[in-house]
Amino acid sequence: MNAHAPLPSLQTGCDIRQERGQRAVFCGLTGIVWLHRKIQDAFFLVVGSRTCAHLVQSAAGVMIFAEPRFATAIIDERDLAGLADANEELDRVVRRLIERRPDIRLLFLVGSCPSEVIKLDLARAAQRLSRTFHPDVRVLSYSGSGIETTFTQGEDACLAALVPEMPKAAASAAPSLLVVGALADVVEDQFARLFAQLGIADVAFLPARRAGELPAIGANTRLLLAQPFLADTARALEARGGIRLAAPFPLGQEGTTGWLRAAADAFGVPSDHFARVTAAGRARAATALALYRARLAAKRVFFFPDSQLEVPLARFLSREMGADLIEVGTPYLHRQHMAPELALLPDGTQVVEGQNLDAQMDRCRAARPDLTICGLGLANPLEAEGLATKWSIELLFTPIQGYDQAGDLAELFARPLKRRARLEV
Ligand code: SF4
């Protein structure tokens, strides 16, 4: 069970291995926390248990300041025992919801472990309900279940569900850029301004802020992934003709510049113009990062596999902050999407795909890292053993992409070190 198998070689000097065994991750329902804030007229109805309701409520609860745009339709014992018609109950819940909330334009039925266990066909239910509520409300479905997923796969599944709904771009359409992955509005606005200054005129974002603004997709669409966990979405967009641009992810000054440059190159932006447009942002990021470099330089960092952001974050910490990477765990390693990132990691970096929790805990304890990035469930035990930890989920709840967030990203890693240093005084 504790397989440690070498993989076929990539264009990288990293030591990449796979590991299989017990895992400790959140499920894909977690993505609702940031997605419901992003798509402003969407509603997420989890079809699940009380456990699912508690998970979403406690993860999002502290952030609710208006009427929430998510809820859970509870599958109870009668449903599980097959005594009730779950479809009829679901239709009743949805009808009541849409009557109460006429602002909803897009309803996601989000599958869970219980809905999968009773084999409730939410795709079919979504089609049926879409017909009922057409044209006012579109109903889609995806799975956020914890069976074989990591928590960021919820966003991937949600965005992949949107792809068939996107209009087809005309074959004669001018080249357009589609930025894929949920970004905080403030970050999206910053990137939109930079693309406009670069002279890239036709830029859209997926997900759009409103359900009715889904961008078109076709052979002239260039895809720029803003998040590293969108394998299914990228595959669906490529199947509709989009062409993915290879790029690092927009984390830190270097990652943001590489990401923007991939778009600039694809759209023929002259390099001197690119340098002029990005100069101010690069300078701001460099100034902000300098504040944290002394705290993070030469710190030994260990990543447990959790968010799928691990490889780009490791690249940022190593190259821009001078940290030493002990181990970079990641739940999945998409060889193509991650190739530009892997090429930037120092030779010999230990990258471990998958998880065998006990073995990894042993390696972490033996290494005594200065900073461990891990899920919530591991953070408390490791803190109790005297290790400084950072919850990886915070990196999804916080705007961290782009030049103006580079300092905030560094600060997220510097904060636990500072706190621990205080505790040790
Ligand atoms: S979807 Fe599964 S893992 Fe997630 S909260 Fe519900 S029961 Fe738990």
Q: What is the DSSP string of 208-236?
A: -SSGGGPPPBSTTEEEEESSTT-HHHHHH
Q: What pTM did the predictor assign? A: 0.93
Alpha-helix residue ranges (DSSP H) falling in 251-368: 252-266, 271-296, 310-319, 339-342, 357-367
Given a cut of 70, whether residue 8 has pLDDT beyond it is no
Atom of ligand 1 at shortest range from CA of 51? 5
Closest ligand 1 atom number to CA of residue 146? 3
Centre of ligand 1 to C-alpha 31, Å, is 12
Q: How much is the pLDDT for 198?
A: 98
End-to-end C-alpha distance for the chain, whole angstroms: 42
Whether 214 has a pLDDT exceeding 60, the answer reads: yes
Q: pLDDT tier at 84 (50, 70, 90 boundaries)?
A: low
183: alpha, beta or left? (left if phi > 0; alpha if psi -120 to 50): beta
The alpha carbon dihedral of 317, 320, 324, 328 has a sign of positive
Which ligand 1 atom is nearest residue 27's CA? Answer: 4
Q: What is the pLDDT of residue 7?
A: 45
Q: What is the pLDDT of residues 119-143, one digit of tens each?
A: 889 999 999 999 999 999 999 999 9
Which pLDDT score is estimated for 165? 96
- What are the two backbone dihedrals, phi and then psi, of residue 324, each rounded to the nearest 5 degrees? -100, 135
Distance of CA 194 to the CA centre of its chain: 22
Residue nearest to atom 3 of ligand 1 (CA): 146
Strands 4-6 and 15-19: antiparallel
Residue 291: count of CB within 10 angstroms of its CB: 12
CA angle, 111 as apex, 107 and 115 as ends, to 5°? 130
pLDDT given at position 64 = 53
Q: What domains can you pick out in the chain, each with its CATH number? A: 4-24+287-424 (3.40.50.1980), 28-149 (3.40.50.1980), 176-275 (3.40.50.1980)
Report pLDDT digits (tens) over 352-373.
999 899 999 999 999 999 999 9
Q: Is the pLDDT of residue 424 over 70?
A: no
Beta bridge partners of 223: 178, 244
CB distance 281 to ligand 1 below 6 Å? no
Quote the mean pLDDT of the chain: 92
* Ligand 1 contacts CB of residue 190 (under 6 A): no
DSSP class of residue 66 equals: S
The Cα–Cα gap between 293 and 407 comes to 10
Atom of ligand 1 nearest to the CA of 113: 2
Of 15, 18, 9, nearest to 359 (Cα)? 18
Comparing 24-33, 61-70, 241-250, 309-318, the range with the smallest average pLDDT is: 61-70
Nearest residue to 108 (alpha-carbon basis) of 149, 147, 76, 138: 138
- The burial class, CB within 10 Å (0-12 / 13-18 / 19+), for 197 is middle
